[in-house]
Amino acid sequence: SRLPLTPPPTWLRLRREPNNSATIIVLIPNGTTVDRVDGASDVSAGGFNWVNIRYTDPNGVEAVGWAARDAMAGRTTLREENC
C-alpha cells in the first residue's frame, strides 16, 4: 500500500536494518509517497516500530529499507492507510 509522507522540516531516514544505529541508505524528502514492501511485517526494536518500505527517487533508482513508523506522516495517516 502507498504511504504518504507529510512535511515537518526533516527527512525520513531509510535504514538498512530496523534499528536506529543501522546504516542510513538514503534520506527521503518529506512529502514523498513510498510503498510498503508487500508481505512485510512491522518490527518493534529500540523503542520504535519499523516499517519495511520501498522508495524510488526521481531518477528511477529504487531503495528498500526500514523507516521508523513514528517518523512517517503521523500515526493517523498510517491508520487510515491500514498499516
* Structure confidence by residue, pLDDT tens digits, 23-82: 999 988 877 788 888 898 999 998 889 999 998 888 999 999 999 887 775 544 344 344
What is the structure's pLDDT at 30? 74
What per-residue string of b and e applies to 49-62 under the rule 16 or more CB within 10 Å gives b? bbbbbebeeeeeee
| C-alpha cell belonging to residue 37 | 514492501
For residue 10, the 8-state DSSP code is S
Asked whether the predicted pLDDT for residue 83 surpasses 50, the reply is: no
Can you give the pLDDT at residue 43? 94
pLDDT of residue 73: 56
